[in-house]
Amino acid sequence: MPIASIASYELPPEGSWPSCRAPWNFEPRRAALLVHDMQEYFLEPYDPGLPPLRQVLAHLQSLRDACDSSGVPVFFSAQPGEQSRTERGLLWDLWGPGLVERPALGALGLEPRSDDVMIKKRRYSAFHGTALAKLLAERGRDQLLITGVYAHIGCLATAIDGFMRGIQPFVVADALADFSQEDHLVALRQVARTCGVVTTAGAVVTELNLGRLRAELARLLGGAVASIPLDDDLADHGLDSVRGLELLERVLPPNHGLDFEVLVGARSLRSLARLMSPRSRARSGAEGAEGAEGADAIAV
């Protein structure tokens, strides 16, 4: 029973899901990122050049880059290619033998890096029959960013399972894909109403970038920096040109490709956080300092 071809659909826009009942705020020091089942077997039904997969892959790349820079651990879940009927359980009745039919499609659509943790799973939830909860606890993490496929099946099951284990789920709406926009929305609605927070890749990347900036500012300036408003000129809080350059060296990669005018024009936490996102850096480099203020999907 192979998975049927999935027609292109637009990702659900912000505001299309209800307000979240959960009052939690995302805190990078408590969080881990889960890339759920992004295997070629599950991605093959999509056209990679069309929505939703095109956007999902771009958002996932931005998320995992920001997580790496912020010290947020990254976990990948994947189903093994060889499973007996006993191992597969009732999934066999609904979906057939799965990857065993085409084991070559067990390769991941988004490759893990050397420090990432791979979780082998055989059921919908990434917690069921795995060490995920234990590994999160060992790292002091009790918030889980959930991304991947399919939103209303494994991703939703993982969010509910995590909630019941005392782990706060943060489901990243535009880093998920599903069979249709309606199926996608079913998952977002259920999470928002019953078990977690629905957020976006841009919101998460913003928080990760701002967390890094505030930590580096605290090292450079000392004292409390958490209360600095996002749009204040940092010079008013003691950041002179020498320490400003040092801050940029710490938060931007060596090959950032930004013009000097763009760098000196970034004087607030908000503008600096924009420059830390790869796609925003590319936009800024092409359009200059004024272009850096334009919004894109991952901009602050």
pLDDT digits 0-9 by tens, 100-134: 888 888 888 888 999 999 999 999 999 999 999 99
Q: What integer pLDDT is reported at residue 160 of this predicted model?
A: 98
* Alpha carbon 172 to chain centroid, angstroms: 6
Q: Known catalytic residue: 161?
A: no
Q: Tell me if the domain spanning 28-199 has CATH number 3.40.50.720.
A: no
Q: Residue 239 corresponds to which tokens in the numbers above?
A: 């950041």
Beta-strand pair 31-36/143-149? parallel
Q: Within 13 A of 223's CA, how many CA atoms are on the CB side?
A: 6
Lowest mean pLDDT among 154-158, 166-170, 252-256: 252-256
| DSSP E strand stretches across 154-275 | 168-177, 197-199
Average pLDDT for the chain: 89
Please, which contacts does 51-54 make with residues 24 or more away whose CB atoms are closer than 8 Å? 51/8, 51/9, 51/10, 51/11, 52/8, 52/9, 52/10, 52/11, 52/177, 52/178, 52/184, 53/177
Q: Known catalytic residue: 36?
A: yes
Q: Known catalytic residue: 37?
A: yes
Kindly tell me the burial class for residue 197, based on how many C-beta atoms sit within 10 Å of its own C-beta (0-12, 13-18, 19 or more).
buried
Pick the catalytic residue: 59, 121, 152, 184?
121
Phi-psi region of 24 (alpha: psi -120 to 50; beta: other; left: phi over 0): beta
Q: What integer pLDDT is reported at residue 12 of this predicted model?
A: 97
Q: Read off the amino acid at residue 283.
A: R
Report the pLDDT averaged over residues 49-77.
95
Query: How far is 206 from 276, CA to CA, in rounded Å?
Result: 9
| Cβ-Cβ contacts under 8 Å for 108 (sequence gap 6 or more) | 38, 39, 40, 76, 78
Confidence of residue 281 (pLDDT cuts 50, 70, 90): low
Q: What integer pLDDT is reported at residue 292 of this predicted model?
A: 36
Report the pLDDT averaged over residues 284-291.
46
| Cβ-Cβ contacts under 8 Å for 239 (sequence gap 6 or more) | 217, 220, 221, 247
Confidence of residue 282 (pLDDT cuts 50, 70, 90): low
Q: Read off the amino acid at residue 64.
A: R
State the greatest distance between any 2 C-alpha atoms of the chain, in Å, as a whole number. 66
Q: Read off the amino acid at residue 239.
A: L
